[in-house]
Amino acid sequence: MDLPLTIRDAAAGLRDHSYTSTELTTAMLAKSKELNPTLGAFIAFTEEGALKAAADADANFASGVDKSPLQGIPLAVKDIIATADAPTTANSLVLAPEWGDGIDAAVVEKLRAAGAAITGKLVLNEFATGQPDPAKPFPMPQNPWDLPRSASGSSSGTGIAVSAGMVLGGLGTDTGGSTRGPSSFNGISGIKQTFGRVSKYGCVPLGYSLDHINPMARSAYDCALILQVIAGYDPRDPTTIDVPVPDYIAALTGSVAGVRIGIPTTYFFDAPELDAEVKASVMAAIETLKAAGATVVDVPIPYLAEAKDANTIIMAGESGAYHRPDVGTKFDDYGRFTVQSVTRGNLYSASDYVQAQRFRSYFKKAVAAAMAPIDVLITPTSTTTATLREEMMADPNRQLTARSFTGVWNLTGLPAMAIPTGMSSAALPMPMSMQIIGKPFAEEMVLNVADAYQRMTAHHLNVPPIAAAVAV
């Protein structure tokens, strides 16, 4: 069958009886199994549960029951998020085998209640940090646009699976950019919503005060569909905030007329390491939005370099606290890159952590003041297109000193979304991406700007040749 590219199209096909959920889920599982030995996106398939959910969706459609736009849609989740029908490994030999046994994470509960068919657990960087270690018995994630290049991390499996059409959407997590990086490198859309909007109950932590669980899909519209389901207060997660969840789909007007866009030129657009073609693609996207009625002004954001360092210190401290018991007893079970990452927190003092948190409070106020006159900021998502994996493995500490366009928004907790802006001119073209940042709990504005741009362009519909060649 001809597989739909988006959740939106698949939902329409299910409702006009072009195919059943069982047919759609079976076909996507077949495609996933054919591509997975090459791409390394899935750790485990949950075929039985997915086909049961698909059959239930078909029965519901037949009887006139329509739970949500996700009813009957094949999705998958990062293997740091608990599912009752499969082990959770965090891509590691370290995590206790019984961790999360028999429970669904809050977000998985909500996806199942909405009628989604969850087809499996997706690869990640071990414990959502470090680099993948080929010496460990887990699939190595491969970028579907060019296999030797990085699929980014840590939600690499979700980025690969969505880009290659193995699923129509999925869940990633983001502590310093781990949803937006894979979205950028794999040419898809992914939103890190406001901290506290989505429950993290049932998810292995990396940085307690920085972690987010996020939607990743081909389009902003599809991300809105997933976020609509998973958002909301959960008393089991004390970091969730009890605020109303807006109607994200109703907010997608297709118009940016009057939207005020801020461009933080300093640090983002004047970075020496920013690839000229990536910069040009983002500037062209801004001009597209401007031509559609948005206003664009330069908005300086202070202390961005310091904010990147503060995010690094806080993540290291919180990760080190979580892993401290296991590092002492299971040191050799960690991947060689991960163990460096999770022990780094021991190099910072308690006063370093406190000072980083003090700076964080100040920085959040400074960003709020800078953003007061505008609706969203726009920046590149990454400084370059996907880098060669060998280069990253040869210098695993490069992220400590490299400029980050994503982690500062974890520090503030603001919503930030990555969407494609085109393909590079390389012999093997690679996706390029921009980031849209909004005010607290204003995901609807971020999603509307992203969706409006995607109605005017088709970059998000690009499919890697390796995926397009698979017939099911």
Concatenated DSSP letters for 237-281? STT----PPP-TTTT--S--TT-EEEE-IIIIIT-TTS-HHHHHH
Name the active-site residue from 78, 121, 200, 308. Answer: 78
pLDDT at position 359 = 98
Answer for the pair 343, 319: CB distance below 8 angstroms, yes or no.
no
The C-alpha atoms of residue 416 and residue 410 are separated, in whole angstroms, by 9
Answer for the pair 435, 380: CB distance below 8 angstroms, yes or no.
yes
Extract the runs of DSSP E, i.e. beta strands, from 115-188: 117-122, 169-174
φ/ψ of residue 253, rounded to 5: -85, -20
Task: Give per-residue pLDDT as tens, 229-278.
Answer: 999 999 999 999 999 999 999 999 999 999 999 999 999 999 999 999 99
Task: Note if 200 is an active site residue.
Answer: no
Task: Give per-residue pLDDT as tens, 36-48.
Answer: 999 999 999 999 9
In the three-class reduction of DSSP (H, G, I as helix; E, B as strand; rest coil), residue 46 is classed as coil
Please check whether residue 199 lies inside any domain of the structure: yes
The C-alpha atoms of residue 42 and residue 138 are separated, in whole angstroms, by 10
Task: Note if 154 is an active site residue.
Answer: yes
Name the active-site residue from 21, 92, 150, 154. Answer: 154
Please check whether residue 121 lies inside any domain of the structure: yes
**Domain span including residue 138:** 7-468
pLDDT at position 467 = 94
The C-alpha atoms of residue 248 and residue 262 are separated, in whole angstroms, by 22
Specify the number of domains making up the chain.
1
Please check whether residue 314 lies inside any domain of the structure: yes
Please check whether residue 1 lies inside any domain of the structure: no
Please check whether residue 340 lies inside any domain of the structure: yes
Q: Is 92 left (phi over 0), alpha (psi -120 to 50) or beta?
A: beta
Return the closest-CA partner of residue 71 out of 116, 10, 5, 120.
116
Please check whether residue 250 lies inside any domain of the structure: yes
Task: Give per-residue pLDDT as tens, 411-425.
Answer: 999 999 999 999 999
Name the active-site residue from 32, 150, 156, 178. Answer: 178
Answer for the pair 99, 93: CB distance below 8 angstroms, yes or no.
no
Answer for the pair 120, 126: CB distance below 8 angstroms, yes or no.
no
pLDDT at position 459 = 98
Low-confidence ranges of the chain (pLDDT < 70): none
Task: Note if 425 is an active site residue.
Answer: no
pLDDT at position 392 = 81
CATH number of the domain that 62 lies in? Answer: 3.90.1300.10
pLDDT at position 470 = 86
